[in-house]
Structure 1
Amino acid sequence: MDFQLKTLTGSQAATEKSDALIVLVPSGALAVGDALSALASAARAAGDLPDKPGKLLSLYRPEGVAAPRVVLASIGDGVPGSVRSAVLAAVRTLKGLGTKRLTLVFAGPADGAAVHSAVLAVADASYVYVTTKSKSEPRTLRQVTLGVADGNAVSSAFAEAKATAAGIEFAKEWGNRPANHCTPTLLADAAETLTSQAHIKCEVLGPKEVAKLGMGSFASVAQGSSEPLRFIVLSYRGATKDQAPVVLVGKGITFDTGGVSMKPAAEMDEMKFDMCGAASVLGVFRALGELKPAINVIGLIPSCENMNDGKALKPGDVVTSMSGQTIEVLNTDAEGRLILCDALTYAERFKPAAVIDIATLTGACVVALGGVRTGLFSADDALAKALEAAGEQSLDRCWRLPLDDEYAEGLKSNFADVANIGGRAGGAITAAKFLQRFTGAFPWAHLDIAGTAWKSGAAKGSTGRPVGLLVAYLVSRAGAVQPALPKKGRKAPAAA
């Protein structure tokens, strides 16, 4: 989608040629000096436009406005959450009406956070999955003009939002694909496409390379599938070589039957979403390639299927991880931690400033936090606080859960260094404690996105989370978004 930022007064917005115009109306007095402000003031006075965020009034061909359809949307106090509610509601009312060009204008002052929220809400509300549909209409909305009182003042926030929206959509796309359209090999191909952007390189390792590295835990999960595993290594270099990178590790189980410890049939189709951690890493790199922040980032994606055949991993088997630690597999459906632990060990070679793994890891996290907040685990207070702040800023929120050593008691094994599961109690925490065993060499955080990566029911589909949180964290860490180089004659520095 083509997003454009313009400095627009109310009078100028009224003359913008578009299929529809959304006017974001804040609470409080409006300066009545143009057709749009007059409409909003009159609607409010008549009680047709309450101040509550998300309340709408739709108009057709109002006098003095070029756009045939106008939607007045209340944003209340104008904070990002209120703006998001209003924009989501307004854009959804226009679905099915053939809107190709949309103008969205703030009727009052708008800061960068409000602009950021508006862009992401438009992208979210207008996203349509079409890849495996034969007769579906593609997304109608093609061009969005965002009008504010001072475009220069919010240009950085707009650029970050635009790139983040592209990254979220990339993550949604791969998260939504059925498992036969998103095998480990196809996921690796998707990663390779990102190398068309400046500063990004990709290396893909197969079964032989993974075996040579000693990733016995990762390989054990893949051994029951006819689809070969892939270990994807992405790198983005936006800073000097001597700057330690942030490493993102995404769980890439492209389909999870549960293995021998098989899942119930109901809703098993949703186990195509078990690679949403991997999809979020791809989405972050899609955004980084557009933003070009001054930071170095590595993306590690261990990807395979968790399937059943005569070679499949069995409960009671003991496998050896890349770190040398042995693992008793008590439940083959606790496979995500088995592939992540080897990727975390591999991350040591980059001498990282921080490592963040992202995984649809436990149903226990869904029970604890539902679909609102992502579970956050970290023993590093500074890293945890930075991620929490990024979540609040991006409206992609997380909640920190404990990592007390006592939670690891249930992982003791008589036959290996550690078991891959504890008891039912505190399952999200014991899973994090398992991963923590492989992170002693660097600051580490774990994001359990089992409740936030996708929605079920009528709205079934990937959410693209936590791309927004991660991009906000990385941009904040980089300090500022570098301005894009001109297309003609630009010289991109060598990628990592």
Structure 2
Amino acid sequence: MDITASGTPALDAAADHLLIFATKDDDILDGGALRQLNEALDGGLAPLVKSGELSGSVNETVVVHTFGKTETSRVVIAGLGPAEKMGLDEIRHAAANGARKARSLSSGALAVAVDGEECGFTTEEIAGAICEGLDLGLYRFDRHQSPKKVPNVLERVSLHSQNVAGVEAGIPHGRSLAGAANFARDLANEPSNLLTPTELANRAEAWAADHDVEIEVMDEATAAELGMGSFLGVAKGSHQPAKFLILRHRGGADEPGLGYCGKGITFDTGGISIKPAANMEAMKQDMSGAAAVVASMGAIADLKLPINVTALAPCTENMPGGNAIKPGDLLTAMNGATIEVINTDAEGRLVLADALSYANHLGLSPLIDVATLTGAVAVALGDVATGVMANDDDLAAEVIEAGKRAGEKFWQLPMFPEYDDQIRSQVADVKNTGGRLAGAITAAKFLARFAGDTPWAHLDMAGTDDASKTRGTQVKGASGVPVRSLVRFAAARAEASA
């Protein structure tokens, strides 16, 4: 899909569809492109407002036919909600809803009216948000299907504003963020027999090459030389060779820079502590953390952020093969810590233990790990917010603020020292589960042992990695969370150090 900027008035655009945004206000028809459309239709929108069919409510889309009174014969009006509550995320969602509605009607070209500098955002910010919404909302994962008919496609989109320069500046920013999130979605939606650790490494290499990101793929032999016994312990049960991905963006000075670590379990059976059969197919997405950190590096490089960032992704399957680790086994991580395996289905923290240890070995700081780590976080926060746990409250606040700017919700959970008692082992330095109580927190407490004194935040996305329905920027399936927040975090760090 090609997206361009235009100074032509939106109502004069030669397109198959015109998208206009509406706020939920008493004077809904008094401003911008919606007022112009109402005038062109000789007040024809007023009856829709009076009847409540057009209110500007969030998630509302209204189709209006102009019968030759405007250049575009069909207009989609997408609701933003109340003006006083409107932010960039409302613009993203409205753009996604409106574009999907237009596409459902026919293929062709879409024109979008870019209004709203008076709402406190620049044209560049508004255009960027619109592009994010378009690319995220129009996402499809249908490469393995044989459709009965060719699906509708919006081939071209034009964003219309008097401030063409502002729109042109916003387009690549929004598209880069959404493109990275969609790449993460593609990886997480892919069936696990097609996305083995080796194939994930191949696709990461291609992504890195396309975005001028350095990449190194560490094999099992090299990981063994480094003493990554925790990561390799999980890999023992699978016939698929494990891969440890290292991606680097060098945009800053000589310091090691920021470190992202992502859990890359390309399929999780639970191992010897095998999961129930029901819904096990969803475990193909247990590499969503790795997908997020890999994808974020593409956008960080595209935006040429003046900061050094390294992403680490330990990738393997968790299978119950003959060589698989067993409950009661002992593993030794790269940092020398010994781990008693209580439950082999608590494997994500085992691979991240070595990723965090390696990040410390590289001198990276601060560290953020991303993982579909515990069902407990989904019980606590549902599918609305990603859990944040940290050894540094200021760092956690930065992550949450980056999420607000990206339109991704986070909620911090406590890390009180009393929780450490639950992961004390009688035979090792630590055990890999702490029981049912506070499961998300005790998992984070385990990881904290390997982050050490380095400022660190843990993002448990087990409740937010998958969207159960399509609405706004979310399309049913892999969500792409928290790619855009990781990029925003790096951008904020770069800005703060400038």
Q: Same fold (TM over 0.5)?
A: yes
The one of 168, 176, 196 equivalent to 1:183 is 196
Q: Kindly report which structure 2 residues correspond to 1:2-151, keeping only aligned pairs within 5 A, or say none.
A: 2-8=2-8, 12-26=9-23, 27=25, 28=27, 29-30=30-31, 35-38=36-39, 42-44=44-46, 46-47=48-49, 48-76=53-81, 77=83, 78-109=86-117, 111-112=121-122, 113-135=125-147, 137=150, 140-151=153-164
Which residue of the partner structure matches residue 487 of structure 1?
Answer: none
> SS at the partner of 1:196?
helix
Give the distance between the partners of 1:61 and 1:102, measured in 2 at CA: 15
Q: CA deviation at 1:121?
A: 1.8
Distance in 1, Cα, partners of 2:415 & 2:460: 13
Rounded Cα–Cα distance in structure 1 between residues aligned with 2:207 and 2:283: 25
Conserved 8 A contact 2:20-2:34: no
Match of 1:93, SS state, is helix
Distance change >3 Å, CA 138–CA 223, structure 1 → 2 = farther
Distance across 2 between alignment mates of 1:292 and 1:80: 22
Structure 2 counterpart of 1:213: 226
CA distance in 2, matches of 1:447, 1:104: 35
Confirm or deny that 1:278 pairs with 2:290. Answer: yes
Equivalent residue for 1:360, pick from 367, 372, 386: 372
Which shows bigger deviation, 391-400 or 75-84?
Answer: 75-84
- In the TM superposition, residue 4 of structure 1 has moved relative to its aligned partner by 2.3
**Partners in 2 of 1:158 and 1:477 — Cα distance?**
22
- Secondary structure of the 2:324 match is coil
User: Are the aligned partners of 1:232 and 1:300 in contact in 2 as well (CA < 8 Å)?
Assistant: yes
Structure 1: state its 5+ residue gaps. 483-496
- How far apart, in 2, do the equivalents of 1:51 and 1:69 lie? 18
1:293 counterpart (302, 305, 323): 305
**Distance in structure 1 (CA, Å) of the matches to 2:421 and 2:366:** 26
> Match for 2:393: what amino acid?
D
- Between 309-318 and 75-84, report the one with greater CA deviation: 75-84
Which secondary structure state, in structure 2, belongs to the residue aligned with residue 438 of structure 1?
helix
**CA offsets 1:286-313 (integer angstroms, 9 cap, x no match):** 2123211111110100000000111111
390-399 or 449-458: which moved more?
449-458
Structure 1 position 6, deviation (Å): 3.5
- Greater shift in the superposed pair: 15-24 or 154-163: 154-163
Q: CA deviation at 1:149?
A: 4.0
Report the Cα distance in structure 2 between the residues aligned to 1:254 and 1:347, rounded to whole angstroms. Answer: 21
Distance in 1 separating the partners of 2:177 and 2:139: 14
- 8 A contact 1:245–1:350 mirrored in 2: no
Residue 38 of structure 1 aligns with an amino acid whose one-letter code is E
Aligned to 1:467: 483
SS of aligned partner of 1:471 = helix
Q: Is the 2:103–2:152 Cα contact (8 Å) retained in structure 1?
A: no
Are the equivalent residues in 1 in contact too, given 2:20–2:33 (CA < 8 A)?
no
**Percent of paired sites with the same residue:** 39
Shift of 1:39: 5.5
**TM-score normalised by structure 2 residue count:** 0.90
For 1:338 and 1:363, locate their aligned partners in 2 and report how far apart those are by CA, in whole Å. 16
> 1:380 aligns to what?
392
Counterpart CA distance in 1 for 2:466 and 2:32 is 42
In the alignment, the residues of structure 2 paired with residue 168 and residue 99 of structure 1 have an alpha-carbon distance, to the nearest angstrom, of 24
Name the SS for the 1:399 alignment partner. Answer: strand
TM-superposed deviation, 1:433: 0.3
2:76 counterpart letter in structure 1: V
Whichever residue aligns with residue 82 of structure 1, its letter is E
Q: 1:171 to 1:100 in 2, by over 3 A?
A: farther
After superposition, the Cα gap between the structure-2 partners of 1:454 and 1:80, relative to the gap in structure 1 and judged at 3 Å, is same
SS, match of residue 221 in structure 1: helix
| 1:223-265 deviation per Cα after TM superposition (whole angstroms, max 9, x unaligned) | 011000000111111122x234111101000000000111111
What amino acid sits opposite 1:96 in the alignment? Answer: S
Q: Contact between 1:258 and 1:333, CA under 8 Å: does it hold in 2?
A: yes
Is the CA contact (8 Å cut-off) linking 2:21 and 2:80 kept in structure 1? Answer: yes
With over 3 angstroms needed to count, the CA separation of the structure-2 counterparts of 1:139 and 1:426, relative to structure 1, is: farther
Tell whether the 8 Å contact from 2:107 to 2:152 is kept in structure 1 after alignment. no
String of CA shifts for 1:12-48, please: whole Å, max 9, x gaps.
2112122211011234322689742525864146424
Residue identity opposite 2:487 in structure 1: V
CA RMSD of aligned residues (A): 2.4
CA 1:13–1:318: 2 relative to 1, 3 Å: same
Structure 2 counterpart of 1:127, one-letter code: Y
Which of 344, 359, 373 pairs up with 1:347? Answer: 359
Matched to 2:103, the amino acid is K
Q: For the residues of structure 2 that align with 1:33 and 1:217, how far apart are their CA atoms?
A: 59
Letter in 1 for 2:13: E
Aligned residues: 478
Summarize the Cα distance change of 1:34–1:420 in structure 2 as closer, same or farther, 3 Å threshold: closer
Write the letter of the residue equivalent to 1:84: R
Which of 456, 460, 476 pairs up with 2:492?
Answer: 476
Shift, 1:351, TM fit:
1.7
* Alpha-carbon distance in 2 for matches of 1:394, 1:31: 26
The structure 2 residue matched to 1:233, chosen from 239, 246, 253, is: 246
Q: 2:452 aligns with which of 421, 427, 440?
A: 440
Residue by residue over 1:84-117, the C-alpha shift from the partner in whole angstroms, topping out at 9 and shown as x without a partner, is 3422332222233332321111344362444333
> Does structure 1 retain, via aligned residues, the 8 Å contact 2:180–2:296?
yes
Contact 1:236 1:285 in 2 (8 A): yes
Counterpart AA for 1:426: A
Q: Contact conserved, 1:380 with 1:443, CA < 8 A, in 2?
A: yes
Alignment partners' CA distance in 2, 1:368 and 1:22: 38
Matched, 1:428 2:440: yes
Kindly provide the amino acid, as one letter, of the partner of residue 45 in structure 2.
Answer: A
Task: Please name the residue that 1:490 is paired with.
Answer: none
The 8 Å contact of residues 44 and 50 in structure 1, kept in 2 or not, is answered as no
Tell me if the contact between 1:199 and 1:238 (Cα under 8 Å) persists in the aligned partners.
Answer: no
Q: 1:172 corresponds to which residue?
A: 185
Q: 1:440-477: per-residue Cα shift (whole Å, max 9, x none)?
A: 24211100000011134786410000011111111122
Assess if the C-alpha contact under 8 Å between 1:207 and 1:229 holds in 2: yes
Q: Separation in 2 of the partners of 1:303 and 1:35?
A: 54
Measured against aligned partners, the alpha-carbon deviations of 1:117-164 in whole angstroms (never above 9, x if no partner) come to 322221122111123224474671232222234243465544321110
Structure 1 segment 264-343 matched on structure 2, within 5 A = 264-343=276-355
